[in-house]
Structure formats: C-alpha cells, structure tokens
Structure 1
Amino acid sequence: MKLLKLVPEITNIAFLKHRNFAVGFSVLTIIASIALVMVNGLNFGVDFAGGQQIRVVFDNVEEAPIPEVRSKIQALNFGDPAIQGFGQKNEIAIKMRLEEASEDNLQEANNTTVQITNMIESEFAEQGARIDGVDAVSGKVSGELLSTGIYALVFALIAISIYIWLRFEWQFGVGGLFALFHDVMLTFGFFALTQLEFNLNIIAALLTIIGYSLNDTIVIDDRIRENLRKYRKMEIANLLDVSINETLARTVSTSLTMVLALLALVILGPDVIFGFSVAMLFGVVIGTYSSVYIASPVLIWLGVGPDSFIPEESDTEKAQNKLREGYDGAVV
C-alpha cells in the first residue's frame, strides 16, 4: 500500500512562498489569452458559426483527396468550403456557411447538403467515400446558442461565488471567483492558440471544469476555516500552507485519477469528443493550480487572519468579561 501513496502523509511545502510570482504569471497568461482570442479568434464549429458540416471517410485510401474534394464542391457554386482533417488522415470535415438567403431556412441548407453528399459518394466511389455524419444549423440558431452558452458560463461563475460566500465568508467567494475566471480564460486562450473546434461540447467542458475547480477549492477552503479556529497565533501565510499541505494527498490523487481517465479519452476516445476531452484535461490541470495559487493568495491580500471571523464583543460583553476577570470567587 505504501507504493500507492503518491504524497507522503506529512508534507511541509511552502506553496505561498512564491505566490507573487505565481499570481503575476497567471495575470500575464490571462492577458495573453484575451489577446489570442481577439487576434486569432476561436474556431467556431457549426453550432456557433451556423452552416453545414459534413464528415466524410475514404475507406480505400490512406489520405483523403482534399484538393479534389474542394474543386468538386466549388464547381457546384457553393463557395469556397473549409475542409480540414478530422481524426485519421482519411477523414475530413467539410464546413459550409449558409448563404444569407438561407439564414432562416434550414430546408434550403439541407438541400445543399444533399447535393454535396450525393456528389461525394458518386465522384469518389473508387476511394470508398462514405458520409460519416451531417450537421446543419442556421445562423439565427447558432447566434442564440452562442449567447446562451456565454450566459450559462457567467451565471455559473456568479452563482458559485455566491455559494462560497454564503458557506464561508465573502473573502473566500472573491478568491473562488478569481480562480474560476482564471480557469475559464486560460481555456479560451488555449482554444484560440490551438484553433481546435469550439462548439457546444466545449461549453459543456467549461461548465464541468468550473464544477471541478470549485470542488477542489472548497476542500482547501474548508480546511483553512478549520485551521483559522485552531491556530489563533499563526501567520496567515503559514496557516494557508499548512491547510494546503494537509489536503495535498487528496488533491493530487483526485487530479491524477482525472488526468489518467482523460488521457485515455484523448488517445483512445472517438473523434467526436476529442475537443471535450482535451478541454477537460487542460482544465483539470489549471483548476488544480488555481485552487492553490489563485484562490488562497487572495485571502492574504484581503486581510484574512486568525481573528478575522471572530464576532466583536459589544460594550456590555466587554464590561461583563472584565468583571469576571476581577471576580475572586467570594460569595456575597
């Protein structure tokens, strides 16, 4: 059983010794993520961009004939399609934006899809072309999906921060909000950098990351609250280090279990959930980091100390306590 212990029972790591560097690095990565989103943009899938996506597999060749497919589709006067690899080398995804006249007419979009799929199956029969899936979303629906997804993320961040505030104190809520904002923004930056497809699955992954990060943060916050009552004279930085070390074994084992499961999905899972799996894997790593190096240092900057949450005595209570201290036990 000792071989299975990833972290010793007792650790004394000074996590917050380098908190200023860690937070400064995190702020820079958040700024870089925002810049990447503004400059590169996100590679919106059909869910958010509107249009049609056709997945094609060529069973008889090792590599899909992308130039030939593009020229054949252009000959149908459907514009210049976005064609990219999807999974294996013999798999492609054809993305077509809807024409303005088709924004509110999915029937016309479906007709376009039928023409493209029929052409591919007939023109590339020797290559073993087969349609693996078709998605079609109008521009109006895609805009509603994008706005709804953003609202869901914002609502989740605010609601979770309020929950932490009510369960602990407002300082913990602020720390949790900063940590969750950090996780979400870095995930956006990751997708802007890699240009992986950003669709509804990624919104689901972001909401899951928020929940995971919250769970990790609450475990540490709960131990911090216990130690604030236990160690009245300990400096807050040392107290936070003690709390993080006491929960370190749980944090590492939980995170590593998640990472191993997600790695299996990334390597062996189906292509349709590849983006979700990658987002979750990235989110688990940065969520663990933010629980330690973002949420905890905020408590120091907000002035939290061992006596921060002890109710102040009223003037009457102070007078009564002084009388008790001067009482010599004589019976009157």
Structure 2
Amino acid sequence: MRLIRLWPDDSRFDFMKFRRFSFPLSALFSVVTVVLLLTVGLNFGIDFKGGTLMELQAKSGQADVGKVRQAADSFGFGEVEVQEFGTAGGISLRFAIQEGGEAAQSAVVQKARDTFGAEYEFQRVETVGPRVSGELVQSGTVGIILAVIAVLFYLWFRFERELAVGAIIGTLHDIVLTLGFFVITRHEFNMTSIAAILTIVGYSLNETVVVFDRTRELMRRYKTMPSVDLLNLSINNTMSRTVMTAVTTALSLLALVLFGGRAIEGFAQVMLYGVVICTYSAICISSPMLIYIGLRGSEATKTVGGKVAPAE
C-alpha cells in the first residue's frame, strides 16, 4: 500500500528566496512589539495586578452571564471581568484590587455573596494583594529569563557556533512576537501566559533542532554545496515532518479554541499563534540567517570553468 506523502520526496522548492520578505517583515513586527511594550504594556491579570477572583456555579445549571455582569458592574468596585468557565453554569468574576486594604477586599466578597448567593454556589474565592502580585511578577519574570538562558546554553553546546547563533536568533524572535500577540490582542497576561510562552519556546527549539540536525548532516555529506542549496535541501528533507507536526498540533489547538470554553480559550489562541510563528521562524528566519552568518566550510566551493561544481 502506498503511503500518503505530505511533501514530495524529490522536492527542490526554494525557501531561501523568501528571506528578502521575511527578514524585513519580522524586523518590523519586532520593533512594533518593543514600542508597544514600552508605551501600552501588557494587560496583566489578577495574578500580577492583584484583586479578587470568584468562581460561581449556578444551582439551576444555567448561568445568566449578562445579568451577572450587569449586577457586578453596579457594585461600584471598578472594572469587573465576568466570563463563563468550566462546565455549564460556571461563571468567574474578577474584581480589581480595591483601595483600603483587606477590609475593602472583604467588602467586595461580601457584596457578591449577598447578591448572588441565592442563585449561585461560591466554589472558589481568592484575593491577591499588591505584595503577592508583585512577588508573582518577579517570580514569573525570573522563571522566563532562567528558562530562556538555559535554552540558549543548550543551543550553544548542541550545535556548532554558526548553527547555534541562528537557533538563538530564531528562539528570541518567537518570544518577541508572542509578546506582541499579547500586547495587540490585549489577552490577559497571567501565570498561564508564562506557561504558554515557555511551551512555545520548547516548540520553537524542537522545530529548529530538527532542521539544523539535517543541515549539519548534509554539511558533512555535501562539502562543496553552496549555502543556499544546502539549506533548501535541509528544509525540503524535513518538510514532511514539519507539516505533520504543525498540522496535527494546530488542529488540536483549534479544537480547544472553538470548543474549550472561555477558561482556556486565551491559552489555546496563544499556543495556536505560537505554532504558526515557530514553524515560520524555523523556515524563514533561523535557516536563512545562516546564509549571512556563514556556514563552516560552505564557502569553500570547488569551481570548474568559473561554475560551481555539482554536489558530491
């Protein structure tokens, strides 16, 4: 029985030609992301801003989100986020941190219990103060930095210098564009978002390692092949695996986006965006970057009558 081919075995598609468009495009998005981070900033959630989180379950099994939102807005405690979560009838309320310390936070909880207690069961009430939220910001930032540093060290020792630099640039590119997604979409940035970023870093690393492993293998086999041809061959050889991994992962995440509910919708959207960016980065950023960095031994091509000799 003939197996399905996700990508032709004898493909010689020229991926490197896209670098003339991908580099300026990614540079533009990266600059815009940095500017927006400095001017607009991230939409921090309760984990980082502080406030009160309540999770309610409708006793009847049916929750009226609009009615709950209208009632919560009338409390006068500032902006409140109301959304469905979990199983049918589940609602979460997020109130911003109140001035007045613990007594003010308790007043928020008591007002909500008096208003919704008859129709809803309070399954979770959590209050995060400014001190705790500050510690979470610090811990989350340190966690991301240490994880990224560990990944960069791994790449440096995993590959030769040129390949390592290309992989590091691609990983940093994916992190920056993921932060840009948070800034532009105004998705809440919380501890779950940090988990999403670290997962995307791992996915980016996996995509780059697969392509660069094949590049290193082909460098030993075809010692006189020009850089552009070598990189195109590497990507074409691994494209079947890339397509299979990206499509299956994207379909799973798409199902979570469409049917996973509001509780994980934001996380799923970020991960879906990350899969697209990481796949694009491995093909159009990390690999073409090696042309400018210079692959070891790739410039020592043999010429016959002024033309490049065929690959060995």
Q: Do the structures match in fold with TM over 0.5? A: yes
TM-score (norm 2): 0.85
Q: Which residue of 2 aligns with 1:96?
A: 95
Q: Deviation digits for residues 95-143 of structure 1, max 9, x if unmatched? A: 32334553xx5xx476335303312225xx4xx4444643321211211
Question: In the aligned structure 1, how far is the partner of 2:124 from the partner of 2:37?
Answer: 29
* Ranges in structure 1 where 5+ consecutive residues have no aligned partner: 310-332
With over 3 angstroms needed to count, the CA separation of the structure-2 counterparts of 1:223 and 1:164, relative to structure 1, is same
Residue of 78, 81, 94 corresponding to 2:79: 81
| Mapped contact 1:182–1:290 kept (Cα < 8 A) | yes
- Larger mean CA deviation between 220-229 and 274-283 belongs to 274-283
Q: Deviation digits for residues 163-191 of structure 1, max 9, x if unmatched? A: 11112112222212211111111111111
- Larger mean CA deviation between 287-296 and 169-178 belongs to 169-178
Deviation at 1:51, TM superposition (A): 1.2
Q: How does 1:1-332 map to 2 (within 5 A)?
A: 4-56=4-56, 62-65=64-67, 66-71=69-74, 73-74=75-76, 79-86=77-84, 93-99=92-98, 101-102=100-101, 108=103, 111-122=106-117, 125=118, 128-131=119-122, 133-307=124-298
TM-score (norm 1): 0.80
With over 3 angstroms needed to count, the CA separation of the structure-2 counterparts of 1:61 and 1:139, relative to structure 1, is closer
Deviation at 1:269, TM superposition (A): 1.7
Deviation at 1:91, TM superposition (A): 6.9
Amino acid of the residue matched to residue 54 of structure 2? I
With over 3 angstroms needed to count, the CA separation of the structure-2 counterparts of 1:225 and 1:80, relative to structure 1, is same
| Mapped contact 1:229–1:306 kept (Cα < 8 A) | no
Question: In the aligned structure 1, how far is the partner of 2:108 from the partner of 2:5?
Answer: 55
Question: In the aligned structure 1, how far is the partner of 2:112 from the partner of 2:64?
Answer: 20
Question: In the aligned structure 2, how far is the partner of 1:189 from the partner of 1:11?
Answer: 34
With over 3 angstroms needed to count, the CA separation of the structure-2 counterparts of 1:287 and 1:218, relative to structure 1, is same
| Mapped contact 1:231–1:306 kept (Cα < 8 A) | no
| Mapped contact 1:50–1:137 kept (Cα < 8 A) | yes
* SS of residue in 2 equivalent to 1:294: helix
User: What number of residue pairs does the alignment pair up?
Assistant: 296
With over 3 angstroms needed to count, the CA separation of the structure-2 counterparts of 1:11 and 1:295, relative to structure 1, is same
* SS of residue in 2 equivalent to 1:12: coil
Question: In the aligned structure 2, how far is the partner of 1:227 from the partner of 1:209?
Answer: 27
| Mapped contact 2:63–2:91 kept (Cα < 8 A) | no
Deviation at 1:6, TM superposition (A): 2.3
With over 3 angstroms needed to count, the CA separation of the structure-2 counterparts of 1:114 and 1:303, relative to structure 1, is same
With over 3 angstroms needed to count, the CA separation of the structure-2 counterparts of 1:80 and 1:208, relative to structure 1, is same
| Mapped contact 2:155–2:168 kept (Cα < 8 A) | no
With over 3 angstroms needed to count, the CA separation of the structure-2 counterparts of 1:177 and 1:285, relative to structure 1, is same
Aligned Cα root-mean-square deviation (Å): 2.6
Question: In the aligned structure 2, how far is the partner of 1:230 from the partner of 1:192?
Answer: 45
Aligned residues with identical type, % of pairs: 38
With over 3 angstroms needed to count, the CA separation of the structure-2 counterparts of 1:100 and 1:295, relative to structure 1, is same
